[in-house]
Amino acid sequence: MTKHSIESGSAILGCELGSTRIKATLVYPDGQPLASGSYGWENQLRDGIWTYDMEDVWKGIAGCYENLLTEVKQNFGTAITRLAAAGFSGMMHGYLAVDDEGNLLVPFRTWRNNITGEASKELTELFTAPIPQRWSIAHLYQAILNGEDHVQHIAHLTTLAGYVQWKLTGEWTLGMCEASGMFPVDPDTGAFNAGMLDAFDRHVAGHNVPWKLANLLPSIVPVGERAGTLTEEGARLLDPSGNLEPGTPLCPPEGDAGTGMIATNSIRPRTGNVSAGTSVFAMVVLEKKLSRVHPEIDIVLTPDGRPVGMAHSNNCTSDFDAWMALFGEAAKVLGKEVSDTDLYGSLMPLALEGDDEAGGLLSFGYISGEHLTGFTEGRPLFVRTPGSSFTLANFIRAHLFSSLCALRTGLDVLTEGEGVRVEEIRGHGGFFKTPEIGQRIMAAAADTAVSVLETAGEGGAWGMALLAAYSVRDRKELDLPGYLDEVFKDSIGSALPPRPEDVSGFIQYFQRYKAGLAVEAAAVQSL
């Protein structure tokens, strides 16, 4: 049956371009995984801008798909020539400005850039709505304020997922959640907020831009509908071998926030999920509007249009991963080759053996700036006092705690400042790959029960595959929550409640972290 599903063209593909890996998942029509593939890549800091080269985007997508094809060939003895549907996702937010001939006007500016502080502040005041620095509109307005020449030539503005969708289908489209991270979307209409569009055009009138904002933005396609068809050119970009036929329907492209909600079935009010890897963001589906604007909190939408409060930290595990790589080098010098799986599997559990508050140690994993704590640049730091308990267990625990401290700053705004209730947080992403460890540390940091799916490490690509499957579903009467209930059934693991000693230890560490922000500021100033 499996081989027949692939050869008959009934399998469905989901692909996500994450911060450090491009991942693909092939699924049955019911959403159950068939095969997967991946491709590693990294951003670059060029002229002060975090970016990815567009050639690497296509090299990575084709390499990821080829890796998936290899698994299909090995496991099922066949190849993919047709697909029932496909969906593509990317890192949310960012800035891709394109002219009327399809040329990229400036290098892709990713979510990681904290260079739009002036624009973010002005637009938040103009719209009376939070416009974080990562958002596409903040990047556009900052470019206007900076007097950048390319602004006059913009014909299309989109995100990474939207750009990939255009190259594959020829259509400028986005899904609801991804669109809401470019510019505010009205949940009542499912369209970009018309009043805010007009306000923006009036606000920039003195800069003599030759366009109206609404004409630059992609079309928003509702969840469950088709958002283009794979062209011949698009099929060759995905599969340079030429085996894949054009004609596959594509669902609306989404960002990693939307796929995270789907991959954890967290789209109903009072449900929440946290995606933790290179960055970390928690999303709670809201029962009502927040009482006021909070710069720390994004307001985005679920893929089916419900308001979500999102606390997003630019930095999570990158510095910790760098330390782990260093430990791997040390092991190699001592004559022992250690795989990443063994390295993390051996060292991460030590975090549970450390002192509750990590023995007085302190780290800042600020590879880049961190808007939640007010930093436009970052300097990774590790600090200890002469009286600290400098053990490996405390070292690991301190770094894992630190990876979640900026996130806790945002969560406090939602839970303490707004009284938002969340019954359980569902985790996914690389932070949760080592069983129990990430789950227990996250429960301590959020002071909330945390559950993790078996697909925790690969959730985004699978979430995108589910959205693609939903767009060609047989049972049209099912709404998205009902569809996901059928897919998940009892597959989500039991929630791990926070341990009082872990919560107390994290709070002590968090206080040390907040006091130490002055040290991080001095490092940015001096180094």
Which pLDDT value is given to residue 523? Answer: 97
Largest Cα span, the chain: 67
**According to the model, what pLDDT value does residue 490 have?**
64
400 within some domain: yes
The pLDDT of residue 41 is 95
Look at residue 513 and tell me if it is in a domain: yes
Tell me if residue 250 falls in helix, strand or coil. Answer: strand
Q: Which residue reads 């590790």 in tokens?
A: 382
User: pLDDT digit string (tens) for 29-44?
Assistant: 888 899 999 999 999 9
What tokens were used for 77? 């003895």
In a domain? residue 127: no
The reply to whether 14 falls in a domain is: no
Q: Does residue 35 fall inside a structural domain? A: no
Name which of 298, 161, 137, 151 is nearest 214 in CA terms.
Answer: 137
Residue 206 is assigned to a structural domain of this protein: no
CA–CA gap between residue 387 and residue 158 (Å, rounded): 51
CA 96 to chain CA mean position, Å: 17
Instruction: Tell me which residue range forms the domain holding 394.
Output: 265-452+497-527
- Specify which residues 86 forms β-bridges with: 13, 250
Q: Write out the chain's pLDDT in tens, 527 residues.
A: 588 889 999 999 999 999 889 999 999 988 889 999 999 999 999 999 999 999 999 999 999 999 999 999 999 999 999 999 999 999 999 999 999 999 999 999 999 898 999 999 999 999 999 999 999 999 999 999 999 999 999 999 999 999 999 999 999 999 999 999 999 999 999 999 999 999 999 999 999 999 999 999 999 999 999 999 999 999 999 999 999 999 999 999 999 999 989 998 999 988 899 988 888 989 999 988 899 999 889 999 999 999 999 999 999 999 999 999 999 999 999 999 999 999 999 999 999 999 999 999 999 999 999 989 999 899 999 999 999 999 999 999 999 999 999 999 999 999 999 999 888 899 888 898 888 999 999 999 999 999 987 654 457 899 999 999 999 998 788 899 999 988 887 666 678 999 999 999 999 999 999 999 999 999 999 99
Spatial contact of 283 and 260, defined as CB atoms under 8 Å apart: yes
Looking at the domain assignment, is residue 86 inside a domain?
no
Query: Does 73 fall in a domain?
Result: no
Whichever domain contains 313, its CATH number is 3.30.420.40
> What confidence tens digit (pLDDT) does each residue in 66-98 have?
999 999 999 999 999 999 999 999 999 999 999
Quote the pTM value: 0.86
The token pair that represents 199 in the structure block: 């306000």
Residue 342 CB neighbour total at 10 angstroms: 13
Query: What are the phi and psi torsion angles at 129 (to 5°)?
Result: -155, 145
Structural domains of the chain, count: 1
Radius of gyration of the CA atoms of the chain, in A: 22
pLDDT at 488: 84
CA distance 302 to 20: 24
